[in-house]
Structure 1
Amino acid sequence: MNAVAAMAMVLMILLSANMGIVGVAAQGVNCYDNCNTGCAGLPSKEYLKCDKKCHKRCGDDDKIDGNIG
């Protein structure tokens, strides 16, 4: 009986951990937004370099997420 209870507890822990990951994905967080936030406040030349690196690193995540019409 204890083995069944232990298995049920492990299953509940695994399911709750997985739900946290799904919640983050559902918030619409994307790579480009996260990367570009780090570019804020830089002088214009450096900002453009940083933004270009974000586009290379993240691709066109913003189009996939529907953030651009």
Structure 2
Amino acid sequence: MRRDLTINAMAQDADGKIIDPFGGQRDLAAGILRHVSPAFAEDPVRILRAARFAARYGFEIAEEP
């Protein structure tokens, strides 16, 4: 799966069940943007996208572990 953020890695199956392999629902409820792959290193424009999400929707960017 090539997703950048936990909140963008969620899906819904045909029965309406949420598929959330990285805890995106938890992060969405908490207002946290957390990356899930090396996509930011591969495509630096994603960093700007995360910053825009944070500014527009009041999210905080998770600290690196």
Query: Same fold per TM (> 0.5)?
Result: no
Structure with a larger share of its residues in helix? 1
Using the size of structure 1 for normalisation, the TM-score is: 0.30
Q: State the structure with more CA Rg.
A: 1
